[in-house]
Amino acid sequence: MKFNIPNIYTSKNLKFFAAIPIIMMLVGLYLSQYIVLDSSLSGGVSIILQSTSNLSAEQIASSLGTALHVPNPTVQVGGGQVQVTIAANKSLSDAENYLIGIYQYNGNYSTAQVNYTNYNIALQSDPSNQTLRSLMTAAAAQENGSYAGMQKYLSLELSALSPLNAGQTYNATSASAIVSAAQSAYSNASNTYKAQVMGAVGKVVPYTSYSYEQITVQQSSFFLQQLQNIIIWAFILISIVVFFIFRTAVPSFAVVFGAANDIIVALGAMALFRIPLGIASIGGLLMLLGYSIDTDVLTAIRIIKRHEGTLEERAYSSMKTGLTMTSTAIVSFAVLFAVSIIAYVPTYYEISGVVLFGLIGDLFTTWLGNASMILLYMKHKGKG
């Protein structure tokens, strides 16, 4: 693919060119607050049905929302499949927090028991040791307090699960019995909720087979935190490497800004086109990050460290090569995006959508923003 376009870098409006990606970044930041998390990052239930139903996604979502009393279930239809995503059930989410609290209290209870036993054994050898007696008293108080906390949290858990475990009773006469009762109550409620969901789904969408995945709020929070850490560390390491390459702040900033802006533009597009943010789309963002850094670094190196021609000519030559590479990638991911919609492959849909819109943003970020910043910097340094 050959591009015959004028050399925009001979223009006196480089500052205005650089402002365009900044405007795109601001729009992306605004839109990104409306991004939708899939069940892997927000918690909830994800169901994939093999079905030949003729109902639209909107009809299925409306019927399921009424039947299950849940707000705005997400439904996607295509390729003989129906994917339903339902937000986390409040009873199960609250009970999960109480169950975790029981585990924590049980750990403290076990530690206090061990400490009390050890202090008691030591006291038998030294009956007059007041320090040991004080430690025994403190351990006994911790044991009693932890046991009382376990009882309280079990009561709260059973109360939260009462809509799903109505009429069920549990033995809770010891610490181990409390833990067992809490686990059983949560497991029974989860099974009850699954039966309710699949019963409602079956009435709305006839299916031949299905997969049912429940992600707890705690799990999703952990996944989200880890993915955030990965992206943060990726940017930190990239910043270090880029600064090592150029040894000056402005070109390094331009490269990192280009990568960050591509990510923000992609997030804004995801919110606009309702592409959910999940583990698959995070993979797409990391792929986009690598591509962006590659084009920005190569462009900066060609402008700064090569000497043939003028700065404008080197930037223009880089742009022609980069446009060819990026356009080829855009066409490839556009085809994958279209196929994923037709064949209904959610993972490919998320990955290709993220990279596709990010690459479109990269055209503006790299050739209007990144290249213009570097040219302005070089001219300011008197190297033009």
* 166-183 tens-digit pLDDT: 777 887 889 999 999 999
Say how far apart CA 89 and CA 37 lie, in whole Å: 16
Residue with tokens 């927000």: 42
Query: Is the model more confident about 50 or about 78?
Result: 50
Given this model, what pLDDT does residue 247 score?
82
Strand, coil or helix: 301: helix
Given this model, what pLDDT does residue 166 score?
75
262: confidence class by pLDDT, cuts 50, 70, 90: very high
Residue 325 carries which side chain, given as an amino acid letter?
Answer: M
- Give every strand in the sheet of 44-50, ordered side by side: 74-78, 81-87, 44-50, 209-215
Burial of 20 (0-12, 13-18, 19+ CB in 10 A): middle
Q: Residues 134-160: what's their mean pLDDT?
A: 94
Q: Residues 260-276: what's their mean pLDDT?
A: 90
Going from the C-alpha of 207 to that of each of 119, 177, 343, the distances in angstroms are 62, 40, 18
4: confidence class by pLDDT, cuts 50, 70, 90: low
Q: Residues 341-349: what's their mean pLDDT?
A: 78
Q: Please, what is the average pLDDT of the chain? A: 87
Say how far apart CA 158 and CA 155 lie, in whole Å: 5
Strand, coil or helix: 276: coil
Short-list 297, 187, 283, 215, CA closest to 252: 297
Short-list 372, 379, 350, 382, CA closest to 15: 372
Strand, coil or helix: 84: strand
269: confidence class by pLDDT, cuts 50, 70, 90: very high
Say how far apart CA 384 and CA 373 lie, in whole Å: 13
Instruction: Please give the share of the chain, as a percent, with pLDDT higher than 90.
Output: 36
Say how far apart CA 61 and CA 39 lie, in whole Å: 16
Q: Answer whether 275's CB lies under 8 Å from 349's CB.
A: yes
Choose which CATH entry (3.40.50.11260, 1.20.1640.10, 3.30.560.10, 2.170.270.10) describes domain 8-39+216-380: 1.20.1640.10
Q: Residues 113-121: what's their mean pLDDT?
A: 93
Given this model, what pLDDT does residue 313 score?
87
Q: Answer whether 41's CB lies under 8 Å from 278's CB.
A: yes
Short-list 7, 95, 5, 84, CA closest to 47: 84
**DSSP conformation letters of 48-77:** EEE------HHHHHHHHHHHHT-S--EEEE
Given this model, what pLDDT does residue 59 score?
87
Q: Which residues contact 349 (CB under 8 A, 6 or more apart)?
A: 275, 337, 340, 341
**Comma-separated ranges of CATH 1.20.1640.10 domains in the chain:** 8-39+216-380
Q: Residues 147-160: what's their mean pLDDT?
A: 94
Residue 151 has pLDDT above 50, yes or no: yes
Beta strand residue intervals within the chain, DSSP E:
44-50, 74-78, 81-87, 209-215
1: confidence class by pLDDT, cuts 50, 70, 90: very low
Query: Is the model more confident about 341 or about 20?
Result: 20
Strand, coil or helix: 304: helix
383: confidence class by pLDDT, cuts 50, 70, 90: low
Residue 132 carries which side chain, given as an amino acid letter?
Answer: L
pLDDT digits (tens, 9 = 90+) for 197-220: 999 999 999 898 999 988 877 777
Looking at the DSSP assignment, which residues form a beta bridge with residue 76? Answer: 83
Residue 379 has pLDDT above 90, yes or no: no
Q: Which residues contact 30 (CB under 8 A, 6 or more apart)?
A: 268
